Amino acid sequence: MSVEIKLNWTASLPVSCLYAAECLVRNLPLADPVIGEALAEPAARLQEALQEDYLPAETFWSHVVPLAANFPGQLELATIALTKTIGRTEADKRIGRYRGLLIDIKNAFSRATVQSNDEPAARIDALRQRWHDTGIGLLAQMVNWTEPQIIVEEATVCVVHPDRGGGGVGYVPYNLAVIEGVSDDPVAELPEIVRLAWLLSTLNLDVPRYSENIENNRLATVAALAMIPVAVKSAADIRLTKLDSGAIGRAVQSWMTAPDKADEWTRALEQWWETYSTMRPAWPTALKGLDVLLS
């Protein structure tokens, strides 16, 4: 089955620096210690400010990182991210403080990477060519395992600095896939093009058909986890990877950003996939089943 998806490709310094900062506050180590040291203090100050102001940090980060792709100015970015997090009235009281904190993060990141050879914009053409060669076919195979409605009509791929030596996040409400621009696949058994197809496949799972029976604060996690075995199996189907007993676990460990839950999630996914691949219920039913299994 062929798929139709329009991809807009971009690279973004503002997204790169906030993506790296969020990794640090999540206790995810960065590949470059220079960047880690430079961002440690300003990232911690932003996280402390969120706690002091009793703002939902998870919600704030889920908006400020993807919004930076279209709003690189720190005043506008702080205004919109805070408004989406706590509403305009409360946001107006805090814009100045958070603008300054975002400026500090951007400046620290820029100083740390000024001589870096890992320029995200330079990685776009190679990644786009890999997508043309194998990614489109992989996504089509993922549709074969699920249903055509999972694919968004249009999405943005934002290539960022390889802060963790390979990584990415799908921002479902923004139809945005952020992926690190690496020169080599960090996990040989899991080519980065499979990660990108996985990220893109999650972006339409907030439509009512899939999301109406899943709590909003769990949707992104359920969507991301559900598509992991689909991506791994589909990649094996078209001979991009080999499927073995550890394939799902490797993907969970490499792609998800909660390493403390990797074993638990892997066990749940393996159990869920065995049932799904045998019975093939409707995809909304399968998603709800995974949500229950994870709760």
Task: Note whether 25 and 160 are same-domain residues.
Answer: no
Q: Are 203 and 144 in contact (CB under 8 A)?
A: no
Structure confidence at residue 99 (pLDDT):
97
Task: Note whether 247 and 198 are same-domain residues.
Answer: yes
Q: Are 108 and 45 in contact (CB under 8 A)?
A: no
Task: Note whether 39 and 181 are same-domain residues.
Answer: no
> Is residue 7 a part of any domain in this protein?
no
Task: Note whether 173 and 277 are same-domain residues.
Answer: yes
Query: 283-294 and 216-237 are packed helices; what angle lies between their axes, rounded to 10 degrees?
Result: 120
Structure confidence at residue 250 (pLDDT):
92
% of the chain with per-residue pLDDT over 90: 76
What number of helices (H) and strands (E) belong to the chain? Answer: 14, 4
> Is residue 232 a part of any domain in this protein?
yes
Q: Are 138 and 194 in contact (CB under 8 A)?
A: yes
Q: Does residue 1 have a pLDDT over 80? A: no
Structure confidence at residue 288 (pLDDT):
93
Least confident of 18-27, 56-65, 168-177, 259-268: 259-268
Q: How confident is the model at residue 122 (pLDDT cuts 50, 70, 90)?
A: confident
Task: Note whether 209 and 244 are same-domain residues.
Answer: yes
Structure confidence at residue 123 (pLDDT):
84
Q: How confident is the model at residue 186 (pLDDT cuts 50, 70, 90)?
A: confident
% of the chain with per-residue pLDDT over 70: 98
Look-up of token digits 């998603």: 287
Which of 83, 112, 141 terminates a domain? The answer is: 112
Task: Note whether 130 and 107 are same-domain residues.
Answer: no
The pairing of strands 176-180 and 168-171 is antiparallel
Q: Please give the Cα distance from 161 to 89 (Å, whole number).
A: 35
Torsion sign across C-alpha atoms 188, 16, 225, 285: negative
Task: Note whether 104 and 147 are same-domain residues.
Answer: no
Structure confidence at residue 154 (pLDDT):
95
Look-up of token digits 């197809």: 197
Structure confidence at residue 249 (pLDDT):
92
- Is the pLDDT higher at 22 or at 163? 22
Interval 83-100: pLDDT, tens:
999 999 999 999 999 999
Q: Does residue 165 have a pLDDT over 80? A: yes
Interval 196-224: pLDDT, tens:
999 999 999 999 999 888 888 888 889 89
Structure confidence at residue 117 (pLDDT):
64
Task: Note whether 231 and 106 are same-domain residues.
Answer: no
Interval 226-266: pLDDT, tens:
999 999 999 999 998 888 888 999 999 999 987 788 999 99
Residue-number span of the structural domain to which 67 is assigned: 13-112
Partners of 7 in the beta sheet?
155
Nearest to 235 by CA among 135, 168, 150: 135
Task: Note whether 182 and 272 are same-domain residues.
Answer: yes
Task: Note whether 101 and 180 are same-domain residues.
Answer: no
> Is residue 252 a part of any domain in this protein?
yes
Which of 66, 84, 112 terminates a domain? The answer is: 112
Long-range CB contacts for residues 248-254, cutoff 8 Å, separation at least 24: 248/273, 250/187, 250/189, 250/190, 251/190, 251/198, 252/225, 252/228, 254/166, 254/186, 254/187, 254/190, 254/195
Task: Note whether 275 and 250 are same-domain residues.
Answer: yes
Q: Are 131 and 7 in contact (CB under 8 A)?
A: yes
Q: Over range 162-175, report the average pLDDT.
A: 92
> Is residue 282 a part of any domain in this protein?
yes
Q: How confident is the model at residue 4 (pLDDT cuts 50, 70, 90)?
A: confident
Supply 226's token pair.
Answer: 């559900």
Arithmetic mean of pLDDT over the chain: 92
Nearest to 224 by CA among 187, 263, 188, 252: 252
Q: Are 154 and 175 in contact (CB under 8 A)?
A: yes
Supply 99's token pair.
Answer: 């603008």
Task: Note whether 47 and 94 are same-domain residues.
Answer: yes
In angstroms, what CA-CA distances link 288 with 145, 169, 215? 17, 22, 10
Count of domains forming the chain: 2
Q: Please give the Cα distance from 258 to 249 (Å, whole number).
A: 13
> Is residue 3 a part of any domain in this protein?
no
Q: How confident is the model at residue 139 (pLDDT cuts 50, 70, 90)?
A: very high
Look-up of token digits 């620290």: 108
Q: Does residue 195 have a pLDDT over 80? A: yes
Structure confidence at residue 2 (pLDDT):
67
Measured in residues, the chain has a length of 295
Structure confidence at residue 118 (pLDDT):
65
Which of 112, 131, 151 terminates a domain? The answer is: 112
| Helix intervals (H) in 238-261 | 247-255
Structure confidence at residue 217 (pLDDT):
82
> Is residue 186 a part of any domain in this protein?
yes
> Is residue 5 a part of any domain in this protein?
no
Query: 216-237 and 136-145 are packed helices; what angle lies between their axes, rounded to 10 degrees?
Result: 110
> Is residue 130 a part of any domain in this protein?
yes
Q: What is the pTM of this model?
A: 0.92
